[in-house]
Amino acid sequence: MGRVVLVTGVSQDLGGRLARRISTDPEVSRVVGVDAVPPRQDLAAVRFVRADIRNPVIAKVIAGEDVDTVVHTSVVASAALVGGRTSMKDHNVIGTMQLLAACQRAPGLERLVVKSSAEVYGSSSRDPAMFTEDMTAKRPPQGGYGKDVLEVEGYVRGFSRRRPDVVVTQLRNASTVASYTRSPLGDYLRLNPTPKVIGYDARFQLLHYDDLVAVLHHAALAGVHGTFNVAGDGMLMMSQAIHRLGHRVLPLPRLTLGALGSLVRQSGLGLPDFTPEQLQFLTYGRGLDATRMREVLGFEPRYTTEQALLEFASSVTSPTRVTHPVVLAESLVSGVLAGILAGGGRGG
Amino acid sequence: MADAEVIPLGTRGRHGSPAGSLDGPPSVPQQQPAVRAETTTDPVSGAEKTAPRATSAPAGTTTMPLSGRPGFPIEELISAANAVGRLVLGEDGERKLAELLALLRRRVTGDYTVDEYGLDTELTDRFLLEIVRPLATTWFRVEVRGVENIPADGGALLVSNHSGTIPLDGLVTMFAVHESTGRHLRPLGADLVFRLPFVGEVARRAGATLACSEDATRMLGAGELAGVWPEGFKGIGKRYSQRYKLQRFGRGGFVSAAIRTGVPIVPCSVVGAEEIYPMVGNVPALARLLRLPYVPVTPFFPLLGPLGLMPLPSKWVIEFGEPIRTDSYDPGAADDPMLVFNVTDQVRETIQQTLYTLRMRRKSVFH
């Protein structure tokens, strides 16, 4: 008999896509999707159970459906998705605690996959160039998503100690982008002109959204114990990425960006709101060493960082896009040069 | 014959060679008698011969227009632009200009790659090191010795003394290494470097990374040539009276990293950097306010304002010493503090001795 997989957060984009993808896997006999709200998209073969993971009812679902693999994807990155920071923290931290409590009581459980995030490493001037999984943040995230993820990882470690028989996989993914969906970094890069912290150029990697879904799927079936960084190959600088998208850079002091962010947050427009953690990332960036992802987890992303940006760029249509003066000058001069060469040829 | 030499020279008198050839035949019968008369009667130097012909050319123009095509002299302008281009950019100026513009286009469209530490090879080679070049070659007249001691490939750790109030010695050493070996020296910098706006951005682009054991081990393990200045701020921020006295070499973390990865340590001694900004005082209160290690007072700064920021043109000598091998040690030896201290002292002594020798050899500070 195949595996029975429970996916949390199926009403969100990531959970929904993952549940549908796993349900087509021949090794899996059944996929149960849970969320507090009904899904908007069609879940195909996924059996949807409306249950809030913050509620002990989740334990009954796990036991009743004979679930052997739990994939926890509902740690959300953006307060706008769940209506405010308080609700987000409640959802992320309390939700995970309840889910883990339920998992601990489920004797049939064999595997747990948790989507964590590279935000646990924070971002500072004292960071090493590349974080490996056994390093910790030099300046731990002080709030927001990063702190939630840090707490979630703490509870997962506790669970792992209490249930050593369960294979626990935690995935710390780099910032994701895709042309067809929203993500915190994607929303930021869609701005034109793109505000950038003046005097700093963040180094970063990308993970294409397809690869994020793929690695969660892979982890659910591979059953490899451990924590893994997940990122595409290669590195980009923030200004370089903005230039590649054909956007203009708007250099602003950090304090101004922060003030702008809190204005946007209060306006509720759903625009990138530059939380202190995001600003910290946009200032110093971060690099992840994904060696263990390849060698231990056995996963290979389809997109490199550059390819992910290229795919994302197809969705970035800026009507105000102007050709840079240097590009114009080059075509002009190469035209004149061709003229000179032709003239010189005739003269000789 | 003499005629054959004269006629091509004569076309120089008219503007624009391509157009000139068109009206060649009609003007030849008129000019030829005069020219022939000159050459036969006056067989002197060529310079003298051309002068009368130039004056004779306008005589031809009165009867026959020089250019075959009246109107805007586009071909003349193009050939003039071409000549100016050659003058400014040298031979194959067009190719160079096209290359330069292609380079600029790659910069503004983000069409380049950086490595995992942020090294931007194109920017470093084409701009950053080129800025250092006049400073190193003309201003400080750097003399480089012992280049053969830098391994041509594979990991190596360059350890250097540090001085000069503003760490120009790091930049000049980077330039010297790249110029003489073609390798990029990857500096391991203090976290202040990466905290400062603009400085941190440029440092990463130039290939620097944070001086921590993780990054040092990673870089050396990947076969890079890394550079450390273990004196840190104690070195660059010391008074002029303390010049060429090596400060404490940190905690020897760089030796541990070298032993762990089994790469050689290349001692590097820089003479001359001590005198560029002779620091005679410090403003600790301002330094605390700005969160900087010190705010220097030199005989010229802040007295002369921005002019005081000009480094003094001292004569520099950079000597790369014989590599100290660490591959004979067991990787576990990196955790043996006594061994690490001993190797650290050995490196420090080598640099100190070389500094004394090089100073003796130097005639004066400035030459």
Q: What is the distance between the alpha carbons of residues B50 and B28, in angstroms, rounded to a whole number?
A: 16
| Geometric angle at alpha carbon A305, from B98 and A286, rounded to 5° | 105
Q: What is the distance between the alpha carbons of residues A101 and A93, in angstroms, rounded to a whole number?
A: 12
Q: What is the distance between the alpha carbons of residues A3 and A62, in angstroms, rounded to a whole number?
A: 13
CA nearest to A117, candidates A32, A218, A14, A35: A14
Element (H, E) at B266: strand B265-271
A121-130, A312-321, B270-279: lowest mean pLDDT where? A312-321
A241 and chain B in contact, CB less than 8 A: yes
Of B82, B109, B204, the CB nearest to A243: B109
Q: How many helices (H) and strands (E) does chain A have?
A: 14, 13
A108 and chain B in contact, CB less than 8 A: no
Q: Does B64 score more than 90 pLDDT?
A: no
Residue of higher predicted confidence among A270 and B203? B203
Q: Does B38 score more than 60 pLDDT?
A: no
Peptide bond into A193 cis (omega under 30): yes
Set of chain B residues whose Cβ sits within 8 Å of the Cβ of A125: 191, 194-195, 200, 210
Give residue A151's pLDDT.
Answer: 95
Give residue B71's pLDDT.
Answer: 64
Set of chain A residues whose Cβ sits within 8 Å of the Cβ of B104: 326, 329-330
Q: What is the distance between the alpha carbons of residues A304 and A210, in angstroms, rounded to a whole number?
A: 12
Mutate to test the interface with B, among A136, A189, A203 (most CBs of B within 10 A): A203
Any idea how long chain B is?
367
Q: What is the distance between the alpha carbons of residues A232 and A207, in angstroms, rounded to a whole number?
A: 5
CA nearest to A88, candidates A283, A288, A273: A273
Taking the CA atoms of A245, A248, A254 and A256 in sequence, report the sign of the dihedral they define.
negative
**Residue pair B170/B187 in contact by the 8 Å Cβ criterion:** yes
| Geometric angle at alpha carbon A299, from A296 and A301, rounded to 5° | 140
Mutate to test the interface with A, among B76, B82, B92, B219 (most CBs of A within 10 A): B82
Q: What is the distance between the alpha carbons of residues B105 and A158, in angstroms, rounded to a whole number?
A: 53
Q: What is the distance between the alpha carbons of residues A58 and A56, in angstroms, rounded to a whole number?
A: 5
Residue of higher predicted confidence among B100 and A137? A137
Beta bridge partners of B267: B159
Per-residue pLDDT reduced to its tens digit, B165-175: 999 999 999 99
Of A125, A334, A344, the CB nearest to B200: A125
Set of chain A residues whose Cβ sits within 8 Å of the Cβ of B209: 128-129
* Radius of gyration, CA atoms only, chain B: 31
Per-residue pLDDT reduced to its tens digit, B69-100: 556 677 777 777 777 767 766 667 677 888 88
Tell me which residues of chain B have a C-beta less than 8 Å from any C-beta of chain A: 17-18, 75, 78-79, 81-82, 85, 94, 97-98, 101-102, 104-105, 107-118, 120, 191, 194-198, 200-201, 204-205, 209-210, 212, 214-215, 218
pTM of the model: 0.83
Give residue B210's pLDDT.
Answer: 96
Closest-CA distance, B19 to chain A, in angstroms, reads 9
CB atoms within 10 A of CB B16: 18
Give residue B97's pLDDT.
Answer: 80
Q: Where are the alpha helices (DSSP H) in chain B?
A: 2-10, 17-22, 24-41, 46-63, 74-89, 93-108, 121-123, 129-134, 168-181, 191-195, 199-205, 213-221, 232-236, 253-261, 284-290, 337-361
At B10, the pLDDT band (50, 70, 90 cuts) reads very low
Tell me how far the alpha carbon of residue A219 is from its chain's centroid.
16
Q: Phi and psi at residue A51, in whole multiples of 5°?
A: -150, 140
Q: Does B27 score more than 70 pLDDT?
A: no
A109-123, A238-252, B65-79: lowest mean pLDDT where? B65-79
Tell me how far the alpha carbon of residue A259 is from its chain's centroid.
25
**Residue pair B362/B305 in contact by the 8 Å Cβ criterion:** no
CB atoms within 10 A of CB B358: 20
A331 and chain B in contact, CB less than 8 A: no
A329 and chain B in contact, CB less than 8 A: yes
CA nearest to A11, candidates A63, A59, A45, A52: A52
Give residue B69's pLDDT.
Answer: 54
Q: Which residues contact A225 (CB under 8 A, 6 or more apart)?
A: A167, A168, A169
Q: Which amino acid is at B130?
A: E
| Geometric angle at alpha carbon B331, from B328 and B334, rounded to 5° | 105
Q: Do B98 and A337 touch (CB under 8 A)?
A: yes
Q: What's the 3-state SS for A266-328?
A: HHCCCCCCCCHHHHHHHHHECCECCHHHHHHHCCCCCCCHHHHHHHHHCCCCCCCCCCCHHHH
Q: Does A270 score more than 80 pLDDT?
A: no
Q: Does A109 score more than 70 pLDDT?
A: yes
Residue labelled with tokens 């000179």 = A340
Q: Does B61 score more than 60 pLDDT?
A: no
When pLDDT is averaged across residues B101-126 and rounded to a whole number, the result is 92
Q: Does B55 score more than 70 pLDDT?
A: no
Pairing of strands B296-297, B317-320: unpaired
Residue of higher predicted confidence among B23 and B207? B207
Q: Does B30 score more than 60 pLDDT?
A: no
Give residue B306's pLDDT.
Answer: 87
A94 and chain B in contact, CB less than 8 A: no
When pLDDT is averaged across residues B37-43 and rounded to a whole number, the result is 42
Set of chain A residues whose Cβ sits within 8 Å of the Cβ of B113: 234, 306
How many Cα neighbours within 13 Å face the side chain of B123? Answer: 21
Q: What is the distance between the alpha carbons of residues B119 and B209, in angstroms, rounded to a whole number?
A: 9
> With 0-12 CB in 10 A as exposed, 13-18 as middle and 19+ as buried, what is B25?
exposed
- Total beta-carbon pairs less than 8 A apart between chain A and chain B: 119
At B60, the pLDDT band (50, 70, 90 cuts) reads very low
Per-residue pLDDT reduced to its tens digit, B292-348: 999 999 998 888 888 888 999 999 999 999 999 999 998 889 999 999 999 999 999
* Whole-Å CA distances, B337 to A117, B229, B267: 37, 20, 20
At A251, the pLDDT band (50, 70, 90 cuts) reads very high
Q: Does B15 score more than 60 pLDDT?
A: no
**Residue pair A141/A300 in contact by the 8 Å Cβ criterion:** no
Q: Does A346 score more than 50 pLDDT?
A: no
When pLDDT is averaged across residues A176-198 and rounded to a whole number, the result is 92
Set of chain A residues whose Cβ sits within 8 Å of the Cβ of B110: 239-244
Q: Do B75 and A343 touch (CB under 8 A)?
A: yes
Q: Does B47 score more than 90 pLDDT?
A: no
Q: Does A103 score more than 60 pLDDT?
A: yes
Peptide bond into B302 cis (omega under 30): yes
Element (H, E) at B269: strand B265-271
Set of chain A residues whose Cβ sits within 8 Å of the Cβ of B191: 125-126
Per-residue pLDDT reduced to its tens digit, A147-180: 999 999 999 999 999 999 999 999 999 999 999 9
Q: Does B16 score more than 70 pLDDT?
A: no
Six-digit token pair at A264? 């946007």
Residue labelled with tokens 């990155």 = A77
Tell me how far the alpha carbon of residue A74 is from its chain's centroid.
12
In the predicted model, what is the mean pLDDT of chain B?
82
**Residue pair A109/A70 in contact by the 8 Å Cβ criterion:** yes
